[in-house]
C-alpha cells in the first residue's frame, strides 16, 4: 500500500502548466519585439479640406490595424505591448493558483489515506478565519507534517498567502483592482496600470519558485512522517 500512492507532491499538471506559461512568455516577448510585423495597413477614402470653405478633395489615407483593432479607436502599439500582456499574465496566475490548490487538496487525500485517516480534507473549524491555502497546510500539520521548517518556508508561505493570493483574488473577482495596494508595496515585478495589478514575466516565474519551495519542503516532511508511520506499524 505504501508504494502504490506517491508520497512526494509531484504534480505533472502543474509542471506542464508552468512549462506552457514559459512558452507563452516567449511568444509574448517575440510578439512585442516584432510588433511592426503584425501591423497591417488598409487604405481608406476620405475628404480632405485645407481651409474652411475649401470644397475638398477625395484622398486615400493609411489606417494601421492588428486584426479588427484599428488606430482609429486605440493606440494599437501601446495596447498590444502593454495592456494585452497584462491580461495574459493574470490568466497565468489564476490558472496556476487554481491548479495548485486543487493538487494540494488531492495530495492531502493521498497522504491522509496512507496514514489511516479519512481522505477528505477536514472542514474549517467554526469561526476559523483562514484562507483555503492555509487551511490545507494546517491540515497537513495535524497529520504530523511540517513539525520543523526551514528559514525560507514561512516567508514563502506568507508571500503566497498574503500577496499572491490577494493578487489572484483581485483579478478573479475585481477586474485586477486590489482592495489595498499595500499588498504589493515594494514588491519587485509588479506595477499598477489603469488601476490594475500588472504582473511581469519575472513575477510569474517568482511565484512558480515559491510554489516549488513550499511543495518540496512539504513533500520531504510527508516522506518522513510516512516512514515513521510504517516503522511504527511494522514493529
Q: What is the pLDDT of residue 167?
A: 96
Q: What is the pLDDT of residue 47?
A: 77
Residue that is written with C-alpha cell 499588498 in the block: 183
C-alpha cell at 13: 499538471
Tell me the C-alpha distance between 226 and 16, whole Å.
27
pLDDT tens sequence for the chain (235 residues): 344 445 677 667 778 888 888 899 899 999 999 999 999 999 988 877 787 777 778 888 889 999 989 888 889 998 898 888 999 999 999 999 998 999 899 999 999 998 999 999 999 887 778 999 999 999 999 999 999 899 999 999 999 999 999 999 999 999 999 988 888 988 999 999 888 999 999 999 999 999 989 998 999 999 999 988 888 887 6
Q: What is the pTM of this model?
A: 0.82
Q: What is the pLDDT of residue 233?
A: 81
Q: What is the pLDDT of residue 6?
A: 55
C-alpha cell at 213: 519551495
Which letter, b or e, does each residue of 125-155 get, where b requires 16 or more Cβ atoms within 10 Å of its Cβ?
eeeeeebebbbbbebbeebebbeeeeeebee
Q: What is the pLDDT of residue 133?
A: 95
Q: What is the pLDDT of residue 10?
A: 66
Amino acid at each position: 500500500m505504501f508504494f502504490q500512492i506517491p508520497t512526494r507532491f509531484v504534480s505533472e499538471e502543474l509542471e506542464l502548466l508552468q512549462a506552457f506559461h514559459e512558452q507563452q512568455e516567449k511568444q509574448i516577448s517575440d510578439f512585442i519585439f516584432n510588433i511592426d510585423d503584425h501591423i497591417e495597413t488598409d487604405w481608406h477614402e476620405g475628404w480632405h479640406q485645407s481651409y474652411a470653405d475649401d470644397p475638398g478633395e477625395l484622398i486615400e489615407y493609411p489606417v494601421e490595424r492588428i486584426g479588427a483593432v484599428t488606430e482609429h479607436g486605440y493606440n494599437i502599439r501601446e495596447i498590444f505591448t502593454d495592456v494585452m500582456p497584462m491580461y495574459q499574465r493574470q490568466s497565468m496566475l489564476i490558472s496556476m493558483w487554481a491548479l495548485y490548490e486543487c493538487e494540494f487538496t488531492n495530495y492531502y487525500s493521498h497522504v491522509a489515506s496512507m496514514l489511516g485517516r479519512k481522505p477528505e480534507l477536514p472542514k474549517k473549524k467554526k469561526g476559523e478565519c483562514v484562507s483555503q491555502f492555509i487551511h490545507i497546510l494546517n491540515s497537513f500539520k495535524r497529520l504530523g507534517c511540517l513539525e520543523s521548517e526551514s528559514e525560507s518556508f514561512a516567508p514563502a508561505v506568507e508571500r503566497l498567502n498574503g500577496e499572491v493570493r490577494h493578487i489572484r483574488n483581485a483579478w478573479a473577482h475585481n477586474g485586477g483592482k486590489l482592495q489595498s495596494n499595500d499588498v504589493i508595496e515594494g514588491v519587485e515585478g509588479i506595477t499598477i496600470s489603469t488601476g490594475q495589478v500588472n504582473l511581469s514575466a519575472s513575477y510569474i516565474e517568482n511565484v512558480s519558485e515559491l510554489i516549488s519551495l513550499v511543495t518540496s519542503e512539504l513533500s520531504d516532511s510527508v516522506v518522513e512522517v510516512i516512514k515513521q508511520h510504517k516503522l511504527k506499524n511494522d514493529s
